Amino acid sequence: MGNDADRYRRFLDGDDNGLIEIIDEYHEGMSLYLNSIVNNMCLAEDIMQKTFVKLAIKKPAFRGKCSFKTWLFTIARNCAIDHLRKEYRISDLSLDEHLQISDITDTEKEFFKEEQKAELYNAMKRLNPDYYQVL
């Protein structure tokens, strides 16, 4: 359990300052994350606010199976998807045609791939120049 999980537990126990501290910590990053999903900063901020309202009213359980930030951003992502589903249900277009979500795991895979390329390049530079040229 991290500090944020402790803040959330304090909030669940009746200390509203715990939620305020969580909002202060995550509101900017969550807005940017949601903007990457909905491609509209004003809408992203609205969904971010709805996410924190949902957290305050429904008080979902944090079980600690992942980091608090991952859990919180998953709730935000689900709120964004729900909003887009409602929006596209009205327009009679399928959600898949309009929704392009860059999954966190895809971002992580891309990061690790770039890291591996950099490590390989650095290792190759340490080789004999003849071997390096062949590779």
Helical ranges in the chain per DSSP H = 3-12, 16-38, 41-58, 68-91, 95-98, 104-125, 129-134
CATH number at residue 19: 1.10.1740.10
**pLDDT band at residue 89 under the 50/70/90 scheme:** low
Residue-averaged pLDDT of the chain: 81
Tell me, yes or no, whether 107 and 55 share the same domain.
no
Tell me, yes or no, whether 34 and 81 share the same domain.
yes
Condensed to tens digits (0 to 9), the pLDDT of residues 60-73 reads 999 888 899 999 99
The whole-model pTM stands at 0.64
Residues near 7 by Cβ (< 8 Å), separated by ≥ 6? 18, 19, 21, 22
Tell me, yes or no, whether 113 and 90 share the same domain.
no
Tell me, yes or no, whether 118 and 53 share the same domain.
no
Q: In total, how many domains does the chain have?
A: 2
Structural domain harbouring 116: 102-135
Tell me, yes or no, whether 117 and 75 share the same domain.
no
